[in-house]
Amino acid sequence: MSHKQKLINAYLSMVEERIGEGFEGSLLTFMFKDLKGSEAARKARMEDEVNRIYASLLTRFLKDQSKVPLHKWPFFMGCVDWPVHKKVKKAIHGITNNDGMHFGGIYLVPPKTRTAMNLEDVVDRARPQLMRSGILTNVHVKPIKDTPRKAAGYVLKSVDRLRIGSDEILILPRHHSEMSKKGA
């Protein structure tokens, strides 16, 4: 088994373990307006925006993050992605922007949070704040109905297909000290 496949399997196991602990999983898709710059610059802007949204959603699930162990925080794993071209191509929610590049991920909500709402309801309620940067066209939430491993594999398909490197997978939360440096 290659190093890449071992790493992907480790991430898939992380998702499965958390869902086994009672975390509620959803697929998130972030669609963006047409961003200027190189592909690397567009990826960086997308990642920054996903970090901002994670931080915004975090406050809706945890009242005082300093009192909650990191392993009980909402968990996010994602990366940039491109559409799989099918027989019919449609421009839906900005899919043609950025040459189809968008950001997809899995968001896992811990079993004990400050709200009884699921992620889909929280995102709908927070949509005005989430969209305030002006660079998003949509944030789509879909509860995970299939196996967690299948959903996580879907999110990491760009890594598996060697379109991006494993170092481009965004895992949140980051270590507490790293997050405090960034002001998150």
Q: What is the pLDDT of residues 4-29, one digit of tens each?
A: 889 888 999 999 999 999 999 999 99
Grade residue 42 by pLDDT with cuts at 50, 70 and 90.
very high
Predicted confidence (pLDDT) at residue 94 exceeds the cutoff of 80: no
Predicted confidence (pLDDT) at residue 105 exceeds the cutoff of 90: yes
Predicted confidence (pLDDT) at residue 183 exceeds the cutoff of 70: no
Cβ neighbors of 54 (< 8 A, separation 6 or more) are 74, 76, 172, 173
Predicted TM-score of the model (pTM): 0.86
CB atoms within 10 A of CB 22: 11
Mean pLDDT value of segment 172-177: 70
More confident residue, 146 or 86: 146
Grade residue 86 by pLDDT with cuts at 50, 70 and 90.
low
In this prediction, residue 1 carries a pLDDT of 79
In this prediction, residue 93 carries a pLDDT of 47
Q: Is 128 helix (H, G, I), strand (E, B) or coil?
A: helix
Helix or strand (DSSP H, E) at 130: helix 119-130
Tell me which residue has tokens 């996580």: 152
